[in-house]
């Protein structure tokens, strides 16, 4: 069964977003949205700690603005990734159904030729890889920013900042893994190297923060 259209994730309560992630059919791919959601939570926590540090940290305003920008970016990527994987799922199912000679979901483009179906499915998966890479990059930036905030904030706030670093690192590693397993990317595709670099930068940020 393919994923069915659902209201935008950003317009739904958190409990419904989590229910969608838990559902077998509501989201075609859950890893990307989960990583983006985790990155957004880490950015929000980073902004919170930076706000509470303004009395002792003159540059806190810049960190707050950066964290909020990354939070919005991660939220938007969560929505886009869910939509992209839904599209890719329909295309891939149509391609498999055509190979098996059975009726499958109708393509919006109504492309009947096997080559067209294969091309569209491949393009959708490449776009999914691009979004996973964007999530990895955003999460890596959150991890690095949170590590900086952890160094600057009062000791009483440091545990929250370190939590943000750990969450962001996990999101970056998860998104990088999604790039790595994308079967449409050649082994030497630069997206793979870029995703590895994002995950490694997040790891270094956590190690330095701790």
Rounded CA gap, 132 and 7, in Å? 21
* pLDDT at residue 160 tops 80: yes
Whole domain around residue 148: which residue ranges? 28-209
* SS3 label, residue 41: helix
* pLDDT at residue 5 tops 70: no
- Which residue, among 43, 39, 5, has the nearest Cα to 133 in the 3D structure? 39
pLDDT in tens, 83-126: 776 666 666 666 666 665 555 454 444 444 666 767 777 787 88
Q: What is the pLDDT of residue 114?
A: 64
* pLDDT above 70: percentage of residues in the chain: 78
Q: What is the pLDDT of residue 209?
A: 93
Q: What is the pLDDT of residue 26?
A: 73
- Which residue, among 190, 188, 202, 209, has the nearest Cα to 137 in the 3D structure? 202
In a domain, residue 15? The reply is no
Give the H/E segment covering residue 14.
helix 14-22
In a domain, residue 166? The reply is yes
pLDDT in tens, 114-158: 667 677 777 878 888 999 999 999 999 999 999 999 999 999 999
Cβ burial, residue 102 (10 Å; 0-12/13-18/19+): exposed
Rounded CA gap, 39 and 135, in Å? 8
In a domain, residue 170? The reply is yes
> For residue 192, what is the domain's CATH number?
1.20.120.680
In a domain, residue 80? The reply is yes
In a domain, residue 22? The reply is no
In eight-state DSSP terms, residue 182 is -
Q: What is the pLDDT of residue 28?
A: 67
Summarize the confidence of residues 12-22 as an average pLDDT.
84
């Amino acid at each position: 069964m393919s994923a069915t259209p659902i209201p935008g994730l950003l317009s739904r309560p958190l409990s419904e977003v989590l229910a969608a992630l838990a559902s077998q059919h509501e989201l075609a791919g859950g890893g990307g949205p989960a990583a983006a959601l985790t990155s957004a939570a880490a950015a929000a926590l980073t902004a919170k700690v930076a706000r509470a540090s303004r009395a002792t940290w003159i540059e806190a305003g810049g960190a707050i603005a950066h964290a909020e920008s990354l939070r919005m970016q991660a939220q938007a990527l969560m929505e886009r990734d869910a939509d992209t994987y839904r599209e890719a799922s329909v295309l891939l199912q149509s391609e498999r159904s055509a190979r098996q000679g059975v009726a499958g979901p109708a393509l919006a483009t109504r492309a009947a030729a096997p080559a067209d179906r294969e091309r569209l499915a491949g393009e959708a998966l490449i776009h999914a890889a691009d979004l996973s890479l964007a999530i990895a990059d955003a999460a890596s930036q959150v991890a690095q920013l949170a590590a900086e905030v952890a160094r600057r904030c009062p000791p009483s706030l440091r545990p929250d900042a370190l939590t943000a670093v750990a969450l962001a690192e996990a999101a970056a590693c998860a998104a990088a893994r999604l790039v790595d397993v994308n079967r449409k990317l050649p082994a030497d595709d630069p997206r793979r190297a870029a995703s590895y670099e994002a995950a490694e930068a997040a790891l270094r940020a956590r190690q330095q923060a701790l």
